[in-house]
Structure 1
Amino acid sequence: MKSYLKYIVCLVLVSGSYSCNELAGTRTIRLGHGLDTSHSVHKAMVKMGENLNELSGGKMVLKIYPSQQLGTERQCLELLQIGSLDMTKVSVGTLENFAPKMKVLGLPFLFRDRQHSFDVLDGPIGQSLLNEGEQYWLKGLGYYDAGSRSFYTKDRPINTPEDLKGLKIRVMESVTAVNMVKDLGGSPTPISWGELYTALQQGVVDGAENNPPSFYLSRHYEVCKFYTLDEHTVLPDVLLAGTHFWNRLSEEEQGWLKQAVDNSIGYQRKLWLESEEEALAEVQKAGVEIIRPDKSLFSEEVNEIYDKYKDDTEMYQLIQDIRATK
C-alpha cells in the first residue's frame, strides 16, 4: 500500500510542474530512473543535461530523479505512457513487456563480444528495435552500456549449470530471463531491484544475476560472496521518451535532445569500462570469490530457448541477422 501511495504522489508531483515551466519560457524535461547517483548511467545523464542546456541556449533543462524516487522501472514506463513523466531509463529486460521484439536482446549468449553488441545496437537493427515501442507511446532514444550479466550467490559457488539446481535466483520481470534460469536448472524468482538486498539477506532468494557495477553499487556483495562470470546475457539499458512529450517538441528541440543523448552515450560507455574494473577489484577486496567458468557449459544448456523461435519466422530471422552482423 505504501509503495502504491508513493507512486501516486510521485505522479502528481511530476505532472504538476509542466505548465509552470512552459509559462516561464523554459522547457524542463523530467527524467526518472532507478539507479544510484554514483552509477555511470546517472553521471552520463548529468552530462547530457549540461550538454542540452548548452545546445539549447538554456531553453531546455533536464531535471533528474534517480534512485527510484518516482517508482520502479515498470512504473516509470507507465508514467511515460500517460504523459506524467518525460523520460526514463530501463533495462531491455523490463522493456520487453512493453515492446515484445526487444526480448531478442535478452537471449543468452546472443552476442560474440562487446563490440558485436555495439555494432548491432548502433546499427539498423538496434534502431528498428528502438522504434518498436512507439505503438506503446514509448520512443527509444539510444542504448547505454550495461555490460554482461552473471550469477552471484550466497552459500555456494556456481561453477557449472548443475550448481544452479535447487537455487532460487532473482530475475527481472522478463519472460526471457525466467526461461533462461529454468533451462539452466535454477528456480527464477522475479523481485524488484529495490527489494533485492533484503530478499537476499532473509533467504527469500539464494542469489541473483547482474553486471559487476550493479553488484558492487547495490552492496549485494555484502551478502553474496560468490560471483560467477559466465556473462550469459548482454542487456543494454535503453533511454526512452514518452511520445506524448516527444511530439510536443519542435523539430529543433528534438534535434538538440537527440544530440545531447548521443553525446552522453559515448561518454557513458567510457565510464562503464572504468566502473567494471573498479567494481570487480572492490568486491574482491571485500572477500568475494570471482569465478571464471567454462562458458560453453552454460551456452549449451540454453539452446532450447533458440529452438522455440524456429516457428516464429520474423523472430528467427532477426536472430540470424544479429548473429551475421560484423
Structure 2
Amino acid sequence: MRFKIILLVILCISISSCKKASETKVLYLGHTLPQTHPVHKGIIEFKKALELKSNGTLKVKVFPDGQLGSERETLELLQIGSVAATKVSAATLSNFVPEYNVLGIPYLFRNKEHQFSVLEGKVGKTILEKGSKFWLRGLCYYDAGSRSFYTSKKAIRTPEDLKGLKIRVQNNQMAINMVNSMGGAATPLAYGELYAAIQQGVVDGAENNPPSFVSSNHYEISKYYTLDQHSSVPDVLLIGTKFWNKLSEQEKVWVQAAADESAQAQKVFWRESVEASMKIVKDWGVEVIIPEKSLFAEESKNVVIEFVKKFPEMADIVNQIKK
C-alpha cells in the first residue's frame, strides 16, 4: 500500500511538472522529518530564498513526514530523476557515497566550531561534490547536533554500563562498530519501529540528538539520557544531478545561494530547538547524565583505526579534519 501511495505521488508530480514546464521549474523535495523539526524549518528557508531569488521561476514543493518514503527510498528517487531534492542523514548517505562515512567517526570533531569550519570549508565541500558521480549532488549541511545514548531501565554513566544492552542504531557500519566497541550490542532497526521496540523491551535504548529524542516521543519511555555526544553526524541537503543538469547556470547559482542561506538560518533553529527539547526532557522527569566523555572516546579509538585500514583512501580526509 505504501509503495502504491509513493507511485501515485510521483505520478502527480510528473503530471504537474509537465503542466508548469512552460511557466516555472518546480523542485520537489521529500524528507522524513516532521514539520516541527528544526531541519524542516531550514528547508522552508531554502524554499523561501530560492523562490525570492528566482522571482518565482523556481518553486519548491516540500513533502515532509516520509510522504515519499524512507531516506534510502527518497535517495533512489533522486537518482532516477522522479524527485529533485531531499534531506538525509550523512549516515544514510554513506551507503551511497563512501566519503560520508568519515563524518560518522566518533569524537571526530572537537566542538561545534571545529565541525562547521570543516563542513563549510574545503573538506566539507569536497565531500559534497563526491556524490555527483552517484547522481546525488550535495548542496549544504544542516546541523543535526550530537548523538547521545538514552535507555529505558539502566543508566549509562561509563562504557562499562553499555555491556549487555541492545542499543538501536542506524543501519550504518560506523554506528554499529562504535556501539559494539563500547561494549553494547548494536541493533539496526527502522526508526518508525523504535518506540514500540523500546516499550516492549526488544531493545534497551537508542542514541540520538535532543530534538529527535523529543519529536519521536522516545523521552516518554526512556528514564535516562546520557549526553556522551559520541558523534556529530550532519544532515545533508541534496539535489539529484538529473534535475541539476536541466538548470541554467543562473538557476544553479540561485539554488546554491539559497541552500547556503538556509544552512545559516537552520543553525539558529537547531540551537533554539535543543534548548526547548532539553527543558521538555527534564520537566518530564528523565534523568540527564553528563558523563566523562573521554572514557567513551577511548573505547571507540579502534573504530577509527579499523576504518582507515579498510578505507586507506579516506585517511587523508581524516587527517585534514584533525588538523
Q: Does 1:109 align with 2:107?
A: yes
Which residue type is aligned with residue 58 of structure 1?
A: G
**Once the 2 structures are TM-superposed, how far is the Cα of residue 20 of structure 1 from its aligned partner?**
1.8
Greater CA drift, 49-58 or 84-93: 49-58
Q: Does 1:277 align with 2:238?
A: no
Q: What fraction of aligned residue pairs are identical, expressed as a percent?
A: 49
Partners of 1:290 and 1:264 in 2: CA distance: 31
Q: Using a 3 Å threshold, how does the CA distance of structure 1 residues 155 and 5 change in structure 2: closer, same or farther? A: farther
Aligned to 1:14: 13
> TM-score, normalization: structure 1?
0.96
Match of 1:135 among 133, 136, 142: 133
Greater CA drift, 195-204 or 267-276: 195-204
Does the 8 A contact of 1:72 with 1:192 survive in 2? no
Q: Does 1:295 align with 2:293?
A: yes
**Once the 2 structures are TM-superposed, how far is the Cα of residue 310 of structure 1 from its aligned partner?**
4.5
Aligned to 2:314: 315
**Once the 2 structures are TM-superposed, how far is the Cα of residue 87 of structure 1 from its aligned partner?**
0.4
**Once the 2 structures are TM-superposed, how far is the Cα of residue 116 of structure 1 from its aligned partner?**
0.2
Q: Identify unmatched segments of 5+ residues in structure 2.
A: none
> TM-score, normalization: structure 2?
0.96
Deviations 1:126-156 (A, max 9, x none): 0110011111110000000011000011111
Partners of 2:287 and 2:16 in 1: CA distance: 48
4+ aligned runs moved over 3 Å, structure 1: 2-16, 309-313
Q: How does 1:1-326 map to 2 (within 5 A)?
A: 2-23=1-22, 25-311=23-309, 312-324=311-323
Does the 8 A contact of 1:11 with 1:79 survive in 2? no
Partners of 2:17 and 2:258 in 1: CA distance: 21
Q: Identify unmatched segments of 5+ residues in structure 1.
A: none
**Once the 2 structures are TM-superposed, how far is the Cα of residue 253 of structure 1 from its aligned partner?**
0.9
Aligned length: 322
Which residue type is aligned with residue 194 of structure 2?
A: L
Deviations 1:176-215 (A, max 9, x none): 0011111111111112222222222222211110101110
Which residue type is aligned with residue 136 of structure 1?
A: F
Partners of 2:307 and 2:201 in 1: CA distance: 35
Partners of 1:73 and 1:158 in 2: CA distance: 30
**Once the 2 structures are TM-superposed, how far is the Cα of residue 170 of structure 1 from its aligned partner?**
1.0
Partners of 1:6 and 1:200 in 2: CA distance: 29
Which residue type is aligned with residue 205 of structure 2?
A: G
Aligned partner of residue 238 in structure 1, secondary structure: strand
Partners of 1:160 and 1:43 in 2: CA distance: 35
Aligned partner of residue 13 in structure 2, secondary structure: helix
Which residue type is aligned with residue 319 of structure 2?
A: Q
